[in-house]
A and B are shown apart, each in its own frame.
Chain A
């Protein structure tokens, strides 16, 4: 899908660590590539890179983003081609440096070069709100905030949203709610999707159920979104839907993705009365 317009630059961020930023970056990126778009993923977690592992590309890295900005190599040399799809590539983070090895200005110049050749540039942000986050956000015009339905994650997401709103370059941001457990929501043990949306007053991009296939996929270096066949994991469908929504398709949320239906709520009321 070659277009003459510049690519869209989307940062994936969360504030809190371990909620699924990198997993989401890998899967959304691979999902968009699967649809035929030309996609580049940038890992900005310098010193703690992991996107290469999730993509199964850890053995193919020669240069990284710090090598590019310090002019030890050309940008094209640092891009690692995905082994499954020729229209997907990764710009890895440096592993032996720290976040100060990169500045927002340098990010801007790298990204503006990548924009000419790609439809989507996805930037995987490190956890935190310090320089790594500032670097990741600097060149983006859209943001995806990843959170889980837990208090600490939602609180940090709120902080991130507050910071994104101060950035003029960020035109819009949406939420991906990760690790949703319908069983716990049913038992009133976990906040549901509506609860989190109400608290954060944010638009929803997608809901990812807690799914052990994500761990299996990570272990294999094969993003879960790329599973094919009749019966794929729910997380596969959820990530495919997110990719479609980003590309502009109006995709309804999956059954599992919707909050507890009202019938269940009534049922659980009766159950409570009997207990």
Chain B
């Protein structure tokens, strides 16, 4: 699963305003510091504790399965080829990731089927 960008898009306007304000006021804090601080305050969910928890869960799933993100990507590409033999799928939306369900780890694929291949027999 690719990590998401630092700030959600709906905060762009807020950041633009704050950015403008910072340009006008001195001393200017380092840009990276302010960015995280602002997102923390605006969406309110990114506590250090939750960050740690979410990042740990993800890294442990990869550790435990010994499937690195790049291996997962290789697997997705191969799967896509196989599935394409039988059904036409939307390759751009296909998603393959690891998910934790209580004590087990699952490989979850989300594949959008466009239409079935015509029968050859």
Interface residues of A (CB under 8 A from B): 150-151, 154-155, 158-159, 162, 185, 188-192, 195, 199, 201, 272, 275
The number of residues on chain B lying at the interface, defined by a beta carbon within 8 Å of a beta carbon of chain A, is: 16
Q: Given the known A-B contacts A155-B56, A199-B56, are A189 and B63 also in contact in the complex, defined by CB atoms under 8 Å? A: no
Using Cβ atoms and an 8 Å threshold, which residues of chain B touch A151? 52, 55-56, 59
Q: Say yes or no for B50: interface residue by CB 8 A criterion.
A: yes
Number of A-B contacts (CB under 8 A): 40
Using Cβ atoms and an 8 Å threshold, which residues of chain B touch A275? 41
Q: Given the known A-B contacts A155-B63, A159-B63, are A199 and B48 also in contact in the complex, defined by CB atoms under 8 Å? A: no
Q: Say yes or no for B53: interface residue by CB 8 A criterion.
A: yes
Starting from the known contacts A162-B64, A195-B53, A199-B57, 14 additional A-B residue pairs (CB-CB under 8 Å) come to A150-B52, A151-B52, A151-B55, A151-B59, A158-B64, A185-B49, A188-B47, A189-B47, A189-B49, A190-B48, A190-B49, A190-B52, A192-B49, A199-B56
Interface residues of B (CB under 8 A from A): 41, 44, 47-50, 52-53, 55-57, 59-60, 63-64, 103
B44 near A158: Cβ-Cβ < 8 Å:
no
Q: For the complex, would chain A's binding face be called helix, strand, loop or mixed by DSSP majority?
A: helix
**Pairs across A and B, CB under 8 Å, 9 listed:** A162-B64, A189-B48, A190-B48, A190-B49, A191-B56, A195-B49, A195-B53, A199-B56, A201-B103
